[in-house]
Amino acid sequence: MSSSIDISEQAGVRFLHFGSTWVQGAMRIARPWNLELEYTREMMASLLLRDESRWPRKILLIGLGAASLTKFLYKFRPLAHLTIVEIEPRVVAAARQFFKLPEDDKRIHMVIGDGFDYVFETDKKFDLILVDGFNEHAHPGGLNTLPFYQACRTRLSEQGILAVNLIGLSRGVMGGFAYIAEAFEDRALMFPSCESGNTIAFAAEGEPVSISFDDLKENAEKLKEDTGLNLLPTLTRLAQAKTCLNDTLVM
Query: What DSSP line would sit under 117-171, residue for residue?
Result: HHHHH----EEEEEE----TTS--GGGGSHHHHHHHHHTEEEEEEEEEEE-S-TT
154 DSSP β-pair partners: none
Burial class (CB in 10 A: 0-12, 13-18, 19+), 54: exposed
Phi and psi torsions of 186, nearest 5°? 70, 10
Whether 132 sits among the annotated catalytic residues: the reply is: yes
Q: Is the peptide bond before 32 cis (omega within 30 degrees of 0)?
A: no
User: At CA 39, angle to CA 34 and CA 41, rounded to 5?
Assistant: 40
Cβ count within 10 A of residue 12 = 11
What residue type is assigned to position 31 of the chain? R
Q: Which of 51, 104, 117, 132 is catalytic?
A: 132
Cα 138 to Cα 24, 135, 144, 204, distances in angstroms: 9, 5, 12, 25
State how far the Cα of 75 lies from the Cα of 35, in Å rounded to an integer.
12
User: Cα-flanking dihedrals φ and ψ of residue 82, to 5°?
Assistant: -115, 125
Helices then strands, each counted (H, E), the chain: 8, 12
125-143 burial code (b ≥16 CB/10 A, e <16): ebbbbbbbbbbbeeebbeb
Give the active site residues.
132
